[in-house]
Chains A and B, each alone.
Chain A
Amino acid sequence: MFRYYIDLALRSLKRTPVLTALMVMAIGIGIGASMTMITVLHVMTDDPMPGRSAQLYTPHLDPLPLDHKQGGDGPDPTDNLTWPDAMALLKAHRATRQAAMAGGSLLVRPGRTGLRPFYVDGRYATADFFAMFGMSFERGQGWSGADDEARARVVVLSDTLDRKLFGDADGIGQMVRMGDNDFRVIGVTADWSPKPMFYADASAQHYSDADEFFLPLSVAVDLKLQTNGNQSGWGKGDAGMSLTGAEMTWLQFWVQLDSPAKAEAYRQYLIDYSAQQKSLGRFQRPPTNAKLYSLMGWLAHENLVPNDVRLQLWLALGFLFVCMINIVALLLAKFLRRSGEISVRRALGAGRRDIFVQLGIESALIGVAGGALGLLVAQLGLWSIRQRPDDYAHLAQMDVPMLLGTLALAVAASVLAGLLPAWRACRVAPALQLKTM
């Protein structure tokens, strides 16, 4: 029966080409617009560390004074940690792995002639950074905790930067002049830039930044290297903005906790630490203000998806809704026009349910055709988004789940749209129609 219904549906669609074309176009445009924005939202909220994100957490403390007021849209100081807090958490070693980090921008003076000095972005981090985020090394390795303590002047480069500076030769063991200091290259990592760059500060370009070098944090602080990111101080005068002071937050901190029970234990440790700092007179706010965010929870808190993208998504969905109403009207017209043919089938013994299924399959066929058109429209839409100079623009690509989702959404939308018309059509009294034929 299924093949028969498809045959019937194809014939009927061919008989009214204009109407069919209108319906396919309406579904196609509606689906195309919606899938474009849904794909953009999908890539922007995707898990940047599949397989690892469940074990990564970021702790946040509240060292602000009681009378501090968070002004308007300014950055929230509690998004980052102060130096004493970060070092205390690092030394306590309560998680499987922990690392403190901050972004930096340094002037590189290449040894090779013919290459002018240029700026690169990178990260100042502690030893556990590489293992915790599962970075793979092409050559060499990261530094150890002892190197952190000893303030060793070492650097790990990304593959791109290594090639730029040393070409095909091995960069391991060479010296690089960064900032105004020389560093020895001890490792080269494969290029890695998770999107969004979840471990970066709130001021970063989360979807397009990439770290090209990694330096020990202690060295960066010692040499007063330039940092990127928000530095929020609440102390009085110049002492309030000291990098190692207790009244300025600028460090990001991530830990690896292998089970929810360990996460709960770590959360309790943060509260205990805050209570201890409060009793020492450093913290003023309640210890329960201390928080532990999971990776996806942190991304949700940061709200990286710009309002414009959300607005465009709702607009696209509203657009789809109007297109669907259009389809309902057109399908109603189409099905009711065939009352005569339907009555003949009813007279020959088809029940109301059979007619309903037949018309439902016709709607689904329109959905399939509309879905194919919608895919083309969505590709066009995504291409136009890739031309925008936005942070996330280059991510606007369709992957296989989104592709299948497009077709599924198109078929679902048109079947849904066809429900009312099919129900109305199968309730037409056959006798009356047969008399007029």
Chain B
Amino acid sequence: MTLPPILAALRKHKAGVLLIALQVALTLAIVCNAIFIIGQRVQRIHRPTGLQEDNLFMVTQSWVGAPTGDDQAATDKLDSMLRTDVAALRNLPDVESAVAINTMPLTNSTWSGGIGMKPDQEHSTAQAAYYFGDEQMLPTLGLRLIAGRNFTSAEIQHRAFRGTNEPVLVIITKALADKLFPDGNAVGKVIYVDGGKKPSTVVGVVERMQVPSVQSWANYFTWYSVLIPARLDAGFARYAIRAKPGRLQAAMREAPKALFAVDPMRVLDEGATYEDSSVHSFADIRANAYRADRGMAVLMGVICLILLCVTGAGIVGLTSFWVGQRHKQIGVRRALGARKIDILRYFQLENLMIAGVGAAVGVALAVGLNLLLMHFYEMDRMPVLYVLLGLVVVLALGQAAVFAPARRAANVPPVVATRSV
């Protein structure tokens, strides 16, 4: 199968060749990037938070008529209400452990601050999210301690929500420990939170804990968390509760009842939608946090599919037309001894060449499109694998699309050559 005849034939149909090549190029560019975006989003959706997520749920509630004001008496009263609530939750038969906590990963409600290595440090070394809870925080959330120790109950303090943040002891995540103390062993060392004067000693390191926000502004500190042994007292409270294995639904029903039994003057809705409800399992929190990513992945998938169909249809249409135009030529070739398979291979090779040229341009377009998206939409650089994958998909699509018209061409009988011009 020599190339010059194929090229000569194509020179007569420059417009059509250009159009198919252009379609293939654009499809390759868009499909590569779309598959890459899907891969990125799926990766984001599945990354583990570091918590033991099954059997975990969260209750958010606020008291009606609670003491307001920043004085010590109001704070102490709120603290005793909080401790009563937590005790009631811990006493439930379906509950393994419970803790009052300010926020949880994937809730998009972040309290963060700068961490420094020296007192009064102006520009922080790293940004981190703060989690305030008592000694039950680690077992309830299911965090893995890899160095040092957990807090003891004697070390837990309590303070007003808007008070100053000066913890004596902290536990940090491994990622933060590696950033602040690259030569290992953060336990026993000292950090300064919020650019303050008072030192905080690191007593333990947990393997992994994600910050509450999944939005792009938190990307640069997603794995930097600081756990602080304190209860925050305010007119509202969040409780993270671990149910006994298999008892999640029962615990989620019993927890609001127990809280209302302690004190009916509170706002705790069991609404129909996610937004209206105050009780969320962690699976629901995760689903809600990543719904935009999921939607984007689905959209990209649909667009890919439709684009491939449209390009395929275009190739089928144009190739059918060419076959019709070259009826006589095919008949002559068959009369001169070409077999059906030769005609078939001719058209498939022709399509491969056109698609090949289109794909080569498409690779350049794909890389260019990726650079554009990196610049305007904060995407990552696309690895070569996706380009190769797109290349294979598009060439296969071309071959599949040309098969039907090529078969029709192969079925042209040699007698066509004898018909008059």
From 63 to 116 in chain A, residues with beta carbon under 8 angstroms from any chain B beta carbon are 72-73, 107, 109, 116
Residue B371, interface by CB 8 Å: no
- Tell me, in angstroms, the Cα distance from A19 to B316 when the chains sit together: 10
Question: How far in angstroms is the closest Cβ of chain B from A41?
Answer: 15
B361-403 contacts to A (CB < 8 Å): 373, 377-378
| Closest Cβ–Cβ distance, residue A152 to chain B (whole Å) | 22
Is B321 an interface residue when CB atoms closer than 8 A count as contact? yes
B residues near A33, Cβ cutoff 8 Å: 303, 306
Q: Which of A273-281, A290-298, A319-327 is the contact stretch?
A: A319-327
Question: What B residues does A118 contact at CB under 8 A?
Answer: 267
**A337 and B68 within 8 A (CB):** no
Given contacts A330-B318, A332-B15, contact A322 B64 (CB under 8 A): no
Give Cα distance in the complex from A287 to B310, angstroms.
58
User: Which residues of A lie under 8 Å from residue B20 when comparing CB positions?
Assistant: 329
Which of B16, B68, B162, B267 makes the CB contact (< 8 A) with A329?
B16
Is B27 in contact with chain A by the CB < 8 A criterion?
A: yes
A315: CB under 8 A from chain B?
yes
A307 at the interface (CB under 8 A from B): yes
- Quick one: given A180-B65, A420-B15, are A315 and B317 in contact (CB under 8 Å)? no
Of the listed residues A22, A321, A326, the one surrounded by the most CB atoms of chain B closer than 10 A to its CB is A326
Q: Is A329's CB under 8 angstroms from B65's CB?
A: no
Q: Is the CB of A326 within 8 A of B314?
A: yes
Query: Is A22's CB under 8 angstroms from B320's CB?
Result: no
Which of A22, A308, A424 is the one whose CB lies under 8 Å from B317?
A22
- Are A332 and B30 in touch, CB under 8 angstroms? no
**Residues in chain A near residue B377, CB distance under 8 A:** 307, 311
Contact with A along B9-32 (1 / 0, CB 8 A): 000000110011011001100100
Q: Which residue of B lies closest to A328 (CB)?
A: B19
Binds A, one of B136-144, B203-211, B288-296: B288-296
Q: Which residues of B contact A333 (CB under 8 A)?
A: 16, 317-318, 320-322
Interchain CB contact under 8 A, B267 and A117: yes
The chain B residue with its CB closest to the CB of A326 is B314
Please report the C-alpha to C-alpha distance between residue A284 and residue B314 in the assembled complex, in whole angstroms. 65
Knowing A107-B267, A311-B377, A319-B303, say if A330 contacts B310 (CB, 8 Å).
Answer: no
- With A308-B296, A319-B306, A321-B26 known, 15 other A-B pairs at CB within 8 A are A22-B317, A30-B310, A33-B306, A109-B64, A117-B267, A318-B26, A322-B27, A325-B314, A332-B19, A332-B321, A333-B318, A333-B320, A334-B321, A337-B325, A424-B15
By a beta-carbon cutoff of 8 Å, the part of chain B in contact with chain A is 15-16, 19-20, 22-23, 26-27, 30, 62, 64-65, 68, 162, 216-217, 220, 267, 274-275, 288, 291-292, 295-296, 299, 303, 306-307, 310-311, 313-314, 317-318, 320-322, 324-325, 373, 377-378, 421
Q: 18 A–B contact pairs at CB < 8 A?
A: A22-B317, A25-B313, A33-B303, A73-B216, A73-B217, A118-B267, A180-B65, A318-B26, A318-B30, A322-B27, A322-B30, A322-B311, A325-B19, A325-B314, A333-B317, A336-B325, A337-B324, A389-B275
